[in-house]
Structure 1
Amino acid sequence: MVIKNYVVVTPCKNEEKNLPALASSIIDNTIKPSLWIILNDGSTDNTCIILNNLEKEYNWIKVIHEKESIRDLGLHYSDIVNKAIKCAFATCEKRSINFEYIGLIDADMILDKDFFEKIIDRFEKNPKLGVCSGTVAYISNGQKTLEKGREKHPIGGLRVWRKKCLEDTGGFPTSYSADSVSNVLAILKGWDTRKYEDITGIQTRKTSSAEGMWKGLITRGKSDYYRDYHPVYVILKFLKYSIKPPFYTGIAYLWGYIIGVIVIKNKINIPEVRAYYRNKHLELLNLKKGTER
């Protein structure tokens, strides 16, 4: 396989416990990135020291330090990822780095040693593949378990885009659940999207738990309002969350959706994305005439 250049971006905030393991897993990968942009979103712990040491030791690592801010997995997250991606493009142009792929890797991941080699191989075998991801794994009592998800839905913190796909879709969208919106935009542009279970990253904390599960589920509720999820579909999600422990997740999720209605009010300003979600939900609910389950 001819190895194509790739770059990586990572947003982080107060990740002194997780960054060393992530850095080791990227540095030791069978194929190293041509550039790794790490955006420090106003950390107040020892994250800055760790990042500065990495930047001094490796000339392909570049760190951006932002001012201190409140941790926010909503619109602010998409803004900082956008900054990191734009910095990656600008730095590559300045350093004359030609790249074919760009990854978004969260700071609480530990990647398979051949993570990028496998991902790039999948891209090379399928020219229509626009964005894909590995699968999150957790280690509990010495056992490795995979996070459940749908095969055609790449996840946020382990994703890689084909550069052409990211450009076709206008870059990383400003939205709640921007990774999911990015998937939709890729699909609407005719690209394939995939999540691979044989390519993994170990996550050191549960998805959406950086601010605690309660806040994480509130953010998820806000996101579903912002992306114009069908109200019946929202009620079904609330019930699904409510029937399994921890039972409060249903309340947190629904409260987040209500906050969206009362406070956020505006929804994502990409009509084709809103239509995509509505049509999908109508099909799933079997409410759209002529559709099948």
Structure 2
Amino acid sequence: MNQKLSPERAETDDEPDEPVLQRPRRKGIYILPNLFTLAALFGGFYAIVMAMNGRFEQAAIGVLCAMVLDSLDGRVARMTNTQSAFGEQMDSLSDMVSFGAAPALIMYEWALKGMGKLGWIAAFVYCSGAALRLARFNTNIGVVDKRYFQGLPSPAAAALVTGLIWVMDDLGFKGVRDIEWLTWLAFATTLYAGLTMVTNVPFYSFKDVNFKRTVPFIVIVAIALGIAVITYHPPLVLFGVFVVYGLSGYVVYGVRKSRGRPVSVIATSTDEPDERGLHR
């Protein structure tokens, strides 16, 4: 038996259904790698507080701890497949505090404050160099040879600056502002680290080291000996390592230049033969 629909019912049935708008799903934040990043940020903040209280050895150790944690957050993210854009931005901001602002402020309080304008200018050169270095790293990440850093990486620059403070404090140099040669050494080290961060000098990144490969037994012995040497006198040995790495880029630059090889780690074209491997 057929039933006739009322006009109102027919109009209602003929109208298309309105699409149901669904709110976009909110993305969460991976907690594990960001915990390492926050811990590195705390290391930089702790270093600033210690420097304000005149405890420069603890300030230097805080920056070094931030270095170790900063090297772990990216590896943890890759191992657990928890990379995110949020984590990348968080890491850059943490690096700016721990390896940009903190070392500049610590060095200023330790030695540069008594130099007047020259002191804070040197500290600012370092701080701005770290900011420019991080911004360039984020924008050039797709065109730089992964085996090298373009300029001195900010954690190494921070280690160079705070390492000098740590070793001199350990050797008993407390009234640094009254020691003219040490003040100028701090001034030169700060400028060197700040300016080297924004150069195009290649520094080995160690990113092509594969920890999953087997190594000869002598490598493990060498690592054990290295740990033993570091524990003998950590401030002096570690600072020596920082100095060697801080100079190594210029050595690589000179060797490449003398052999006629390209010295820039930036690739402008993947078709040119002399730029093979820069996009790997």
- Name whichever structure is richer in helix by fraction: 2
TM > 0.5 between the two?
no
Indicate the structure with greater strand content. 1
Q: Which has the higher contact order (CA 8 A, sep 6+)?
A: 2
Q: Who wins on radius of gyration, i.e. which is larger?
A: 2
TM-score, structure 2 as length reference: 0.28
